[in-house]
């Protein structure tokens, strides 16, 4: 259709194609504009990612605590599969009259393991990046030991911007191995290039099948074991169970097969776990000692930054977690983070940590120290480190 040009002169019917048209940018200019927009998007992404890392690593004036991340966890992570960890066999030992009491105690402990304490909810920035990257099988695993300080270590490590870890214990290599590696990988958080994927399940250390299974996944997996005075660890283990089942037998009665003869009942898991040397033998058949780091649970309390320095070096990470990240909580009796991952308020490990131990007969404690002494000395030789428990 033509168009009418109005003015002082009569209206003329002029074809539309003869009217002036806005200039069309040449193809080269359009390509440059598209490239500039893409570069702007990449720059914005990198700025936000750097902010996420620095915000995670920077300490504030804030405690490590129970938190509420469990409410955000997927069902597969929030509830561990049913099952019982494999036990280390000790030939020649017979069941005692307290077998039922021991099973009751271990059942209560297993129930608590299936509802592990989860860390706090991630920050909005962390949530934004949770959809980025890819899910990888873990390159490092905290394999033990129960009541040694594994939860504290994992929460301390999560402050590092290059560490991504599952909050709940997957229990893949001891309870859910039949579900396959694809299922296991799907439990892991997404990571970007340069980040390490980790998990922690303390019962792996005492599971006979776990070393071969982890080696089959990757022979390069780095393994971390948090160990603690086995006598104190056994009492802490019992205290945890007692909090769930107040009707279980006394610690003293569970410790002995025959108290008058002073014969220790090594079939009780609280005692069995602390025979570290026997468990370590199975791991050294599948992994060289250089791929295992043994963290002192006692030093983790006295000097968390020093012990975290060793862990960061072992994992090949820059030493970002230092003294400035910690303060000592006198009520709990152990260190807390000034600023935990994704947290903006005071935060310590929750009420299930730092329970008051019951009074134990000093003679029983002394007998246990005598029982563990040769195993401890062998463990010192195997690891090349004297933990000072004797």
Residues annotated as part of the active site: 147
| 150 known ligand binder | yes
| 149 known ligand binder | yes
Residue 13, classified by CB atoms within 10 Å of its CB into exposed (0-12), middle (13-18) or buried (19+), is exposed
**Element (DSSP H or E) covering residue 28:** helix 27-57
| 244 known ligand binder | no
Sign of the alpha-carbon dihedral angle for 92, 205, 148, 102? negative
Q: Are 299 and 268 in contact (CB under 8 A)?
A: no
| 147 known ligand binder | yes
| 354 known ligand binder | yes
| 207 known ligand binder | no
| 274 known ligand binder | no
Q: What is the rounded CA–CA span in Å between residue 127 and residue 118?
A: 16
| 355 known ligand binder | yes
Q: What is the rounded CA–CA span in Å between residue 138 and residue 186?
A: 11
Structure tokens at 177: 């191995």
Q: Could you give the angle at which helices 150-157 and 304-314 cross, rounded to 10 degrees?
A: 70
* Residue 251: CB atoms within 10 Å: 25
Instruction: Give the long-range contacts of residues 211-217, CB within 8 A, separation 24 or more.
Output: 211/282, 211/283, 211/285, 211/286, 211/287, 212/286, 213/173, 213/177, 214/141, 214/143, 214/173, 214/286, 214/287, 215/286, 215/287, 217/137, 217/181
**Element (DSSP H or E) covering residue 256:** strand 256-258
Q: What is the rounded CA–CA span in Å between residue 35 and residue 248?
A: 70
- Write out the binding residues for 3'-phosphoadenylyl sulfate: 147-151, 228, 236, 353-357
- Write out the binding residues: 147-151, 228, 236, 353-357
């Amino acid at each position: 259709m033509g168009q009418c040009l109005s003015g002082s002169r009569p209206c003329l019917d002029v074809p539309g194609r003869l009217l002036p048209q806005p200039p069309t940018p040449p193809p080269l200019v359009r390509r440059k504009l598209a490239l500039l927009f893409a570069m702007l998007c990449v720059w914005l992404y990198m700025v936000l990612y750097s902010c996420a890392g620095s915000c995670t690593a920077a300490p504030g004036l804030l405690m490590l605590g129970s938190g509420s991340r469990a409410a955000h966890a997927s069902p597969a992570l929030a509830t561990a599969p049913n099952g019982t960890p494999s036990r280390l066999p000790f030939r020649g030992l017979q069941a005692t009259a307290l077998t039922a009491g021991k099973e009751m105690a271990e059942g209560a402990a297993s129930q608590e393991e299936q509802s592990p304490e989860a860390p706090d909810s991630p920050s909005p920035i962390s949530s934004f990046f949770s959809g980025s990257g890819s899910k990888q099988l873990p390159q490092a695993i905290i394999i033990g030991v129960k009541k040694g300080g594994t939860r504290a270590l994992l929460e301390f490590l999560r402050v590092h911007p290059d560490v991504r870890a599952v909050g709940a214990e997957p229990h893949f290599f001891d309870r859910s191995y039949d579900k396959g590696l694809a299922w296991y990988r799907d439990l892991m958080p997404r990571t970007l290039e340069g980040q390490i994927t980790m998990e922690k399940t303390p019962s792996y250390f005492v599971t006979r099948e776990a070393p071969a299974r982890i080696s089959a996944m990757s022979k390069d997996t780095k393994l971390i074991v948090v160990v603690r005075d086995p006598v104190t660890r056994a009492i802490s283990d019992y205290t945890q169970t007692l909090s769930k089942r107040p009707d279980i037998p006394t610690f003293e009665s569970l410790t002995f097969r025959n108290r008058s003869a002073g014969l220790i009942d090594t079939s009780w898991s609280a005692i069995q776990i602390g025979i570290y040397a026997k468990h370590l033998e199975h791991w050294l058949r599948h992994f060289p000692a250089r791929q295992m780091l043994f963290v002192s649970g006692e030093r983790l309390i006295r000097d968390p930054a020093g012990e975290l320095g060793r862990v960061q070096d072992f994992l090949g990470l820059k030493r970002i977690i230092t003294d400035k990240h910690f303060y000592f909580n006198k009520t709990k009796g152990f260190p807390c983070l000034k600023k935990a991952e994704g947290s903006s308020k005071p935060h310590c490990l929750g009420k299930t940590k730092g329970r008051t131990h019951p009074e134990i007969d000093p003679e029983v404690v002394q007998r246990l120290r005598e029982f563990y002494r040769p195993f401890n000395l062998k463990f010192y030789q195997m690891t090349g480190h004297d933990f000072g428990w004797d």
